[in-house]
Amino acid sequence: MLYGRRIELKKSLTDPERTPLIELRGVTKAFGDNVVLRDIDLTIGTGEAIVVAGISGSGKSTMLRCINGLETIDGGSLTVGGRRVDVTGKELASLRADIGMVFQQFNLFPHMTVERNITLAPMKVKGVDEKAAKQRAKELLERVGIPEKASAYPADLSGGQQQRVAIARALAMDPQLMLFDEPTSALDPEMIREVLDVMRDLANSGMTMVVVTHEMGFAREVCDRIVFLDGGEIVEEGPPEEFFTAARSARAREFVDKIIHH
């Protein structure tokens, strides 16, 4: 059923009128002499799910951090929903409020209940009233499969449950897009699946997602396109099947070989 829906969605994605949501044009980023992103051109459409792959240090996290304005870019232009991300103050805060981010470390507030973790930002940043925020938290906890954990504290939860709360917390802001930076890398193997399942459902619901991950099964089954970074450059970009079976660059083929045979 889900796949049928996905295919419908995919069709709409090839619609020429589909709006690009994220546009990187000649984006460059350096830390001192270390050029970390080189002339990145990338367009991500509304509803697309992209996996960003590459070895450690290739610039994946930096690219995500530039997309939500956590890092400033040194050259080129980067827009989200037509808005430039190299802004400051209120404009930046408003842009960030529309972008959900999930990190490897779940970063929940340890002294707050799960429910409070989820309701805090909508109430503080968006002025949502408490009753509505709690109702939304309840729905989101159901969506990520842990409705019974509303009054638990993060320390009472497994890593997989904490990461699902982190996803629910990001969704509570009704983001335009979701960025994931190795969301399952800190998890025990038995908990990876439950987090990836939530992410798959999210992709199937049409959320625009940019996911840095080494989970190539997820990439293969869920994402629309893989972007492979090497030394801060996009050296390969295409549908997962093409990436896994017919990568053009030697670096990408080497990466695929390593990851598939381990």
Kindly list the residues in this chain that would bind ligand ADP in the complex (CB under 6 A).
31, 34, 36, 54, 56-62
Please give the structure tokens belonging to residue 158: 């497994």
Give Cβ neighbours of residue 206 (< 8 Å, ≥ 6 apart): 9, 47
- Minimal distance, residue 211 CB to ligand ADP, in Å: 13
Please give the structure tokens belonging to residue 93: 């805060």
Q: Alpha helix locations (H) across 114-158?
A: 114-126, 130-143
Containing 66, the helix (H) or strand (E) segment is helix 60-67
Q: Which residue is nearest to Mg ion (CB)?
A: 61
Question: Taking CB under 5 A as the rule, does residue 68 contact Mg ion?
Answer: no
Closest to ligand ADP by CB, 52 or 168 = 52
Question: Taking CB under 5 A as the rule, does residue 61 contact Mg ion?
Answer: yes
Number of residues interacting with Mg ion: please give it, by CB under 5 A: 2
Pick what 240 binds: Mg ion, ligand ADP, none; C-beta below 5 to 8 Å, kind-dependent: none
Closest to Mg ion by CB, 60 or 251 = 60
In 3D space, the residue among 66, 59, 67 whose CA is nearest the CA of residue 21 turns out to be: 67
Question: Taking CB under 5 A as the rule, does residue 162 contact Mg ion?
Answer: no
> Measured in whole angstroms, how far is the alpha carbon of residue 143 from the centre of its chain?
17
Give me the residues paired with residue 182 across strands.
Answer: none
Question: Taking CB under 5 A as the rule, does residue 184 contact Mg ion?
Answer: no
- Minimal distance, residue 73 CB to ligand ADP, in Å: 13
Question: Taking CB under 5 A as the rule, does residue 213 contact Mg ion?
Answer: no
Closest to ligand ADP by CB, 59 or 100 = 59
Region of 9 on the Ramachandran plot (φ > 0 left; ψ -120 to 50 alpha; else beta): alpha
* Contact region with Mg ion (CB under 5 A), list: 55-63, 113-121, 135-143, 254-262: 55-63
**Burial class of residue 63, CB neighbours in 10 A (0-12, 13-18, 19+):** buried
Q: Which residues would be at the binding site for Mg ion (CB under 5 A)?
A: 60-61
